[in-house]
């Protein structure tokens, strides 16, 4: 099956790049594979089948991130209570999302006997999305066991030009933010790995298998690649587009639309008047977006079986749309209009019990304080944007894909 973008070509992923010469590069190596349901070629072959069919390649173990190998588990749902109780197609399958924070890092015995761990994960370009931190935990564990890490690069669905949202502040590290990245970080997962090694000190032996044909200006629907849900509530590119803003809703008692067919695009609660909220948000003149009043009934998660009022976020111009700013204003509007109902999430969140979920997501207490009226919201957003732009300027030297130089055709190696 052939897929092409509007220019008549399509992006070649790191997986496909490796498949072309993998037997030569990997022949004789004992490898593990960290993958999930979106780890496919353009003609829908799974990464484990691709690697398993290569002559001389010795695929010996599989590893899965949050949501499991096939994306069957919901957010914050333990995938496995045991390290080696599961198997898949005759291979041991190790979950890297269990009951405790210790489960996020592969144990030495899971890596024993491996020459390399290959990572093929589709990220969505937001700091909160946990797959990049599963990668970082694996890089640390592989460094300690002298196992080489190979990252098969994939597109950032939102492109690589724009950044948004204040970089995470010291003291607010968690599994939804281990490093001081902006919320919309503008990096591919391969570039994240380079940043983890070169900027944040995870000095493992690292190889990036680059894409061919990807440009920083590309959104995912311009790559010619099929969209496969990387997690149960990331069904479309539309979802990924709004996610840098509406994932903040997880830190509140608002529904982020889980349990509907439009998660993260629909936000609300039983006590919200949709017409009032939509009118308020439209008055804020946020770019590239329209707020439509909606009523919805989640099938599961927050307010399951209850009718909620809220808004659907329709992105009218993604070139000007600011997802993080939009999400922040949505929280501010709900808190201002319904102060007797609006609350911050108090329950444990991503293995954290001492700090509020909203502070972990925002990467600091500034957002909560601004919503509560203790700080000036516009000033906080401006300060955060300056931080995001500063990050991008500093990280450009590590970009794998740059308009100033040709994209690499061979592996990018860090010994």
Question: What are the CA-CA distances from residue 222 to residues 6, 158, 216, 241, 367 (Å)?
Answer: 7, 10, 11, 14, 34
Between CA 39 and CA 51 the distance in angstroms is 11
pLDDT score, position 85: 47
Taking residue 215's Cβ as centre, other Cβ atoms within 10 Å add up to: 18
pLDDT tens, the chain, 415 aa long = 345 555 457 999 999 999 988 778 887 899 999 999 999 999 999 999 999 888 888 999 999 999 888 877 777 777 774 444 466 778 999 999 988 999 999 999 999 999 999 999 999 999 999 999 999 999 999 999 999 999 999 999 999 999 999 999 999 999 999 999 999 999 999 999 999 999 999 999 999 999 999 999 999 999 999 999 999 999 999 999 999 999 999 999 999 999 999 999 999 999 999 999 999 999 999 999 999 999 999 999 999 999 999 999 999 999 999 999 999 999 999 999 999 999 999 999 999 999 999 999 999 999 999 999 999 999 999 999 999 999 999 999 999 998 777 677 778 888 6
pLDDT score, position 407: 74
Question: Parallel, antiparallel, or unpaired for β 412-414 and 206-209?
Answer: antiparallel
The residue behind tokens 């609350």 is: 343
Between CA 200 and CA 179 the distance in angstroms is 8
Structure tokens of 310? Answer: 């809220």
pLDDT score, position 3: 53
pLDDT score, position 86: 62
Q: Taking Cα atoms as reference points, which of 54, 97, 51 lies closest to residue 72?
A: 97
Residues carrying CATH 3.40.50.12170, the chain: 14-226+394-414
Structure tokens of 51? Answer: 């690697």
pLDDT score, position 1: 38
Residues carrying CATH 3.90.1150.140, the chain: 237-364
Q: Taking Cα atoms as reference points, which of 273, 248, 267, 272 lies closest to residue 313?
A: 267
Contact present, 220 and 240 (Cβ < 8 Å): yes
- In sequence order, the β-bridge partners of residue 308 are 296
- In sequence order, the β-bridge partners of residue 117 are 32, 149
pLDDT score, position 414: 82
pLDDT score, position 8: 53
pLDDT score, position 411: 82
Give the rounded distance of the alpha carbon of 360 from its chain centre: 15
pLDDT score, position 271: 98
Between CA 379 and CA 388 the distance in angstroms is 14
Question: Could you tell me the fold of the domain covering 14-226+394-414?
Answer: Rossmann fold (3.40.50)
Q: How many residues does the chain have?
A: 415
Structure tokens of 99? Answer: 């009951």
pLDDT score, position 214: 96
Sheet holding 289-296, edge to edge: 266-269, 308-315, 289-296
Taking residue 106's Cβ as centre, other Cβ atoms within 10 Å add up to: 26
pLDDT score, position 71: 75
pLDDT score, position 390: 97
Question: Parallel, antiparallel, or unpaired for β 116-120 and 30-35?
Answer: parallel
pLDDT score, position 83: 42
Query: Domain 237-364, what architecture?
Result: Alpha-Beta Complex (3.90)
Q: Taking Cα atoms as reference points, which of 13, 112, 126, 99 lies closest to residue 350?
A: 99
Between CA 181 and CA 49 the distance in angstroms is 34
Contact present, 313 and 291 (Cβ < 8 Å): yes
């Amino acid at each position: 099956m052939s897929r092409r973008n509007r220019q008549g070509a399509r992006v070649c992923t790191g997986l496909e790049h490796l498949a072309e010469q993998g037997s030569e590069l990997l022949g004789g190596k004992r490898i593990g594979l960290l993958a999930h349901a979106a780890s496919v070629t353009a003609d829908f072959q799974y990464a484990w089948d691709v690697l398993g069919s290569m002559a001389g390649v010795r695929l010996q173990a599989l590893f899965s991130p949050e949501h499991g190998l096939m994306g069957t588990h919901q957010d914050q749902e333990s995938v496995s209570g045991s390290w080696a109780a599961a198997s898949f197609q005759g291979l041991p399958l190790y979950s890297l999302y269990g009951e405790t924070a210790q489960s996020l890092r592969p144990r030495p015995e899971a890596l024993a006997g491996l020459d390399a761990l290959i990572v093929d994960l589709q990220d969505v370009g937001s700091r909160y999305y946990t797959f990049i931190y599963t990668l970082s935990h694996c890089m640390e564990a592989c460094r300690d066991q002298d196992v080489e890490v190979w990252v098969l690069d994939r597109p950032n669905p939102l492109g690589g030009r724009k950044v948004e949202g204040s970089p995470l502040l010291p003291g607010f590290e968690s599994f939804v933010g281990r490093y001081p990245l902006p919320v919309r970080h503008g990096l591919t997962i391969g570039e994240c790995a380079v940043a983890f090694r070169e900027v944040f000190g995870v000095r493992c032996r690292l190889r990036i298998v680059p894409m061919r044909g990807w440009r920083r200006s590309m959104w995912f629907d311009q790559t010619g690649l099929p969209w496969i849900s990387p997690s149960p509530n990331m069904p479309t590119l539309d979802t990924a587009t709004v996610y840098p803003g509406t994932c903040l809703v997880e830190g509140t008692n608002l529904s982020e639309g889980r349990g509907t067919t439009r998660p993260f695009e629909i936000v609300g609660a039983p006590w919200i008047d949709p017409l009032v909220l939509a009118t308020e948000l439209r008055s804020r003149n946020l770019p590239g977006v329209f707020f439509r009043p909606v009523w919805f009934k989640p099938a599961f998660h927050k307010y399951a079986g209850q009718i909620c009022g809220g808004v659907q976020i329709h992105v009218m111009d993604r070139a000007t749309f600011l997802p993080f700013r939009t999400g922040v204003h949505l929280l501010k509007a709900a808190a201002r209009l319904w102060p007797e109902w609006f609350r911050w999430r108090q329950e444990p969140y991503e293995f954290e019990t001492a700090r509020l979920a909203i502070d972990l997501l925002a990467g600091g207490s500034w957002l909560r304080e601004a919503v509560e009226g203790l700080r000036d919201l516009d000033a906080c957003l401006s300060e955060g944007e300056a931080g995001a732009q500063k990050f991008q300027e500093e990280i450009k030297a590590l970009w794998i894909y740059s308009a100033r130089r040709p994209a690499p055709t061979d592996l990018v190696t860090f010994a």
